[in-house]
Amino acid sequence: MLEHYVKRILSSRVYEIASETPLSKAPLLSRRLGVDVSLKREDMQSIYSFKLRGAYNKMASLSDQQKQAGVITASAGNHAQGVAISAQTLRMKASIVMGKNTPSIKVNAVRDRGAKVILHGDNYDEASVHARALAEENDLTFVPPYDDIDVIAGQGTIGMEIINQHEGPLDAIFIPVGGGGLIAGIAAYVKYLHPKTRIIGVEAEGSACLQAAMTAGRRVKLPIEKLDLFADGVSVAQIGQETFKVARHYVDDVVVVSVDEICAAIKDVFEDTRCISEPAGALSIAGMKRYLNQPHDMKAVAAIVSGANVNFDRLRHISERAEFGESREAIFGVTVPEVQGSFLKFCRALGKRSITEFNYRRSDNNDAHIYVGLGIGSVQDREETRLGLEAKGYRVLDMTDNEAAKVHVRHMVGGHRPGGGTEMLFRFEFPERPGALLEFLSGLGSKWNISLFHYRNHGAAWGRVLVGFKAENGQRRELEAYLRRIGYRFWSEEGNPAYELFLE
């Protein structure tokens, strides 16, 4: 199997359009991790992503008749730009189906390459179904984003470059995983020449389709409604059929990382390269850090910086979360007596520890609640800080891993739950586009009284909202059935301690 892929990689035509990107040393990460770390800089391609390699190799291999007819694909990101620039280079017509909530920066980038953009649906699956229907109807060639031998071979040239560029064998290569085209291509080439080099895939929590497949021994389709969308470039429900043929035999391990760890990795890449990678682009660095924080015997490793197409508006949210991923910040909800001098006494209890955030909420005549962010040195330091405050008589709630607390509650401290009845709390995600918030509210309608609402734009393709509904306990099933009919992804936040402490 590997020899077949290696031949396809060696004969690929990617260098008619792609650059051989550098394998750069990462001195800061190397010192911190105690390992020689190299970063493969695919963010330095003309479209700031590796995706043009596979797209061009596939399109260059088409027959003259197929080239004359043109191509079509579905993508909201880097694959779309790869197909567009490849079509421009090969003088072919290309149509790209993108979700209606695709950020304008990505739509404009594709149009600027001369491709026709068709906006359809709110997610990749809807766009892909429409693109394949148009391909059949108009006799166009569909260019897959990952599940294709030519696409895999094109991405595999990255593995060839890494082997040629690094002096001596590597102990491991960390590779981001979405549909699996990149890891399959690199694994095929590297394992053929250096079978002892470990190939380690990195996935985001909520979209770990390769890990699920490796565990089950077969391809598994994750529930689309539960896919994590933060690292949208790798948010895939099922590993590709062709890519899994390679991955199941030649991927040594899979690491799954959190949103906070990805944000911390984006900061790490910036500090070593002054490049701002997209969430999927820094995914392998997050996995590398997690893996190397465990006992190991590695001396030299490489990780792929796979892309840098990030919306500027997302950086605010990324920077807020980076410290959590590095275990350098903790969030506590602390109850203090509502008496004169209590704030000063609490600050003295913290000592000279850095305070990163401080929100106050009076509860009643006896108590007050404080939403406080603290600089910490480690997970152990976070726990010791909590125990130290409790030893001084404070009631402390650790909210560092509470998603609703970090995304919504920190901006909402204040106000009171309305009297009478029950307030039921839900967290929503909806497609972010012009008019989307109005559409969301219209979808909720006026059947249920909204008692709490928080929305904050994060510069992503999906908006995030926290909503409280005034209802009786016996109406919960009816309310949830109503919300499911609306069609937006949602989670119940019933019993969330951050809500009970600061918003109830």
Q: Is 51 a catalytic residue?
A: yes
Any idea what DSSP says for residue 49? Answer: B
Please report, to the nearest 10 degrees, the dihedral formed by the alpha carbons of residues 201, 202, 206, 211 taken in order: 20
Calpha distance 262→232 (Å, rounded): 12
Calpha distance 185→149 (Å, rounded): 9
Length of the chain: 504
Q: DSSP letters of 88-120?
A: HHHT--EEEEE-TT--HHHHHHHHHTTPEEEE-
Q: SS3 of 456, please?
A: coil
- Residue 263's nearest CA partner among 329, 201, 199, 211 is 329
Q: SS3 of 336, please?
A: strand
- Residue 54's nearest CA partner among 161, 179, 185 is 185
Q: Is 226 a catalytic residue?
A: no
From 40, 51, 67, 106, the catalytic residue: 51
Beta bridge partners of 426: 467, 492
Q: Please provide residue 297's backbone torsions phi and psi, each rounded to the nearest 5 degrees.
A: -125, 30
- Residue 374's nearest CA partner among 356, 360, 359, 387 is 356
- CB-based contacts of 404, cutoff 8 Å, min separation 6: 427, 466, 493, 496, 498, 499
Pairing of strands 367-375, 422-431: unpaired
CA 55 distance to own-chain centroid: 22
From 128, 235, 306, 327, the catalytic residue: 306
Calpha distance 371→329 (Å, rounded): 13
Annotated active-site positions, please? 51, 306
